[in-house]
Structure 1
Amino acid sequence: MRTFLAFALLLGSSASFAATQCTTADKATWQDPAAFQATLKDQGYTINKFKVTQGNCYEIYGFDKDGRKVEIYHDPVSGKAVKTEIED
């Protein structure tokens, strides 16, 4: 039983190591969060939640211009989408 629990904990902890990593650049080089969100809104996104992840990403939850629910991780330096999940 102890072996099973240890194995289960090990598997669970490995998920945190698989988090999306966007940049290792100094935060002084990151885009301003408010300006970045304004750019996305100009592109038609509705942002319900914005946060900075442990992997140094700007992460948004909301809707794209077509009304589809999205979760997108962006590199805060370039603004490029690193990972996108779209729910139709």
Structure 2
Amino acid sequence: MKRSILLKLVLTASAFSASTIAVAAPVCTTLPQARWMTPDQMKARIARMGYRDIKVFAVSGSCYEIYAHTRDGKRAEVYFNPVTGAVVQNNVD
């Protein structure tokens, strides 16, 4: 009996962990990476948008993701559509 309760707890915890991970990065595009802007093109676009001091530039799922600062110095975690360059999610501190 203890074994089945433990198994249920582990499975429940795993389900919550997986759902948290899935929600963490938004879906930015369904197009293949061959259709994406190159990292250099995207970085230039991001700079024109006013983001500065990019600490991280990475592919996160179907997005380009950055950790940087806004024009007014606030920290930002931003997800971009890699095809259009549009901001999909913007988390500013």
- In the superposition, the TM-score normalised over structure 1's length comes to 0.87
Structure 1 vs Structure 2 CA RMSD: 1.3
Inter-partner Cα distance in structure 2 for 1:75 and 1:17: 17
Q: Once the two structures are superposed, what CA deviation does each residue of 1:55-84 show, in whole Å capped at 9, x if it has no partner?
A: x10001010111110000000001000000
Q: Secondary structure of 1:79's match?
A: coil
Distance 2:50 2:79 in 1: 17
Partner residue in 1 for 2:57: 50
> Is residue 2:44 matched to residue 1:38?
yes
Pair 1:82 & 2:57 matched: no
Structure label with greater radius of gyration? 2
Unpaired runs of at least 5, structure 1? none
Match of 1:68 among 47, 55, 74: 74
Runs of 4+ displaced beyond 3 Å: none
Q: How many residues align?
A: 86
Give the Å deviation of 1:26.
2.0
Unaligned ranges ≥5, structure 2: 1-5
Q: More helix per residue: 1 or 2?
A: 2
